[in-house]
Amino acid sequence: MDKETEDKNMALEQTDGGPISVETGEAEKEKTDWIGEIKSISLLLLAVLAFHSLVAKPFYIPSVSMMPGLLVGDRLIVSKYAYGWSWVSPTFHILPRLQGRLFGSLPERGDVVILTPKDQSSDYIKRVIGLPGDTIELRGGQVFLNNVAVEQEVQPDLAIPVDANSPCGDNEFPGMRTTDAKGTMVCNVPILRETLPNGVSYDVIDMGQRYDVDEIEPVVVPEGHVYLMGDNRDQSADSRVSSALGGLGGPIPWENVGGRAEFITFSLDGSTGWNPLSWIGSFRSGRAGTSLRPARNELKPVSAAKPSPATAN
């Protein structure tokens, strides 16, 4: 048998009986490190939760209580560090309800904030009206702060386009659904511009006398508390409304405030479906990027009562 035939037979034997050489010519496939993958995903989730809890988080508007500034379907960003941190800061409210804040500061009158009520776990969004030491009273729907009427100026009616998220139903806005000059269905709501003593101005909706929310006896805001109201004054479960009726039941503790609303990221009209092609058409134009920090005018005279200081425990 010649050398060439012997080499061929040896190659066939190696093929039939399996490789006998340590070197196969191909790198072995590396096995997936599942433990390492799980650790990486867990760290990523922890980083996202930490960012949401300590820096900023998205928030969705589910009700009409903050109209006209905020509509159902608005998505916005809330800064979690604006007033320091407390038990309510984590995305999931898993901490015990402790008093005080870490690196805390009081909100300013007029700030729009998210909060967790004293006896609930869901988040609300309202506007800060009263600070510690203030006396809050409502007479005929007008706010009196330390026995001084908060300035209200009548504005032209606001025409809000009607859509699935803003249907302008008779239960909420009776008789206000109409069409504009272009034939577009709109909701004409009465607007008042309210200006607080620190010069902060914002628009509110007030559709008329509602004794249960328009006539409020004087309330002194305790130390370490804030008094909150919705901009839609006739349809907001805020500090004027008892806890039994879904409201805040008076001033709420400072540490229950979770952050400050900063700006709208985008807004949906409620027409979004499973078809991705419907998503683009469901965006409301002109709302993305809208700041939620109230306008500040020339300062008004300082009220007689000064807010008492609140310190973190």
Residue 296 has a pLDDT of 83
Q: How far is CA 180 from CA 159, 160, 183, 188, 282, in A?
A: 8, 10, 5, 9, 21
By the 8 A CB rule, do 134 and 303 touch? yes
* Choice among 53, 126, 166, 303 that is catalytic: 126
User: Catalytic residue among 65, 166, 239, 303, which?
Assistant: 65
- Please report the pLDDT score of residue 306 as a whole number: 37
Let me know if 29 is a catalytic residue: no
Residue found by looking up tokens 């901490």 in the block: 95
Measuring CA to CA, which residue among 123, 157, 150 is closest to residue 135?
150
How confident is the model at residue 10, as a pLDDT? 52
The whole-number pLDDT of residue 198 equals 95
Q: Which residues of the chain have pLDDT under 50?
A: 12-13, 15, 17, 20-22, 24-25, 300-313
Q: How many beta carbons lie within 10 A of that of residue 17, not counting itself? A: 8
pTM for the structure as a whole: 0.82
Count CA atoms within 13 Å of residue 121 on its CB side.
7
Is 65 considered catalytic here?
yes
Burial annotation 278-312 (CB, 10 A radius, 16+ → b, else e): eeeebbbeebeeeebebeeeeebeebebebeebeb
The pLDDT value given to residue 2: 56
pLDDT at 273: 84
Task: Output the pLDDT for position 310.
Answer: 37
